[in-house]
Structure 1
Amino acid sequence: MEWHESVFDLIDMRSFSNLWFWLALSVVWSTTSHWILGVPFDLVQRASRHGGQAEQDLHDIVRINTNRILYISGVSGMWILGFTCFALTSIAILGFYFKVEFCQAMFLLGLPLSFVGLLSLDTARRIRKNGLQGEALIRKLRLHRVFVQLIGIVAIFVTGFWGMYQNLTIGVLGG
């Protein structure tokens, strides 16, 4: 037996039966719903409750991150879109046509995150276009977070069911 066979026997490389995949999935969605447009949500809450310097800090960080997101999308948005579509399509084909479980897992993680990226771009455009400040900005960031959490809930639900299906299928058929 080769050394790499021993390693793969010791570490289960199937994604949906691996605890590390589920931990990574939960960390990704927890982090994604906490950092809204690159702004930690506790700063949004603190600005809403206390105003003053916390609200000024929120305006500053939202302005910086909104400008950054819109600049990147303006300069290389089409390249990012093309590469993302190519990568997601390649991973989907490898995962679902060629039955590579790791690629299925990455697709089920990557596709919803791409929707979050598009939602963030739209939110950044609306913030700049409407010049949102104060309570209107806080309300927009909270609404954005709710949509991110909804995307995360659906993604975790679909990934969970697909993972259960994969584990039952592989368990019944014997791999």
Structure 2
Amino acid sequence: MAAILNTANTLFKKQGYAATTTNQIAAEAGVSIGLLYKYFPGGKPDIAWKAVEDMREMVFSEELGGATPENAPILLRRALLRFIKGHRRVSSNIAAFEMAVLEDAETAELGKHLFSIGSDSVTSILSKLTGRENSEKLQKWGSIVFHIVDSTTHRQVLHDGLSVSDEELAGALTRIIVAALTAIREE
């Protein structure tokens, strides 16, 4: 499975998500198309989803697994910096994926699914750090916070930047999240 994921990431980076086929991924990975579909029944979208899920797990779970309200600012800043740097490493993949979202309905649906993964991850973190149950209101907070973090990170990495360093951006986003945590606790 790792060979398939690594090959897919390489091909996505080299030629873009939309131009990459499952047949190319299987051939380059040295596996049969049947084996690829055994691990990824949905094909290319499942492969992309798994890559994002692995990145999410690495950034959010590893960095924030031991987060408490007291150490949250330090751990959030670290996780956010890792998130930004992770986006930098795969910026060409992200740019190609964003273009494909505009051109392909299947890719657009995958984009919505990937956004929900990020939003759900942030909602879980907000729940943990505020002691609030996962509710519709908390999910809205998670969606808003993730949208701010993701959109700002994309602007920093893919476009003209924000005239701040990645470290400064991570610090600013941390302050925004801490303010959101305070607002959630006060509701």
| Range into which the TM-score falls when normalised by the shorter chain | 0.3 to 0.5
Which has more helix, going by share of residues? 1
Q: Which has the larger radius of gyration?
A: 1
Higher RCO, 1 vs 2 (CA within 8 Å, ≥6 residues apart): 1
Give the TM-score, by structure 1 length: 0.38
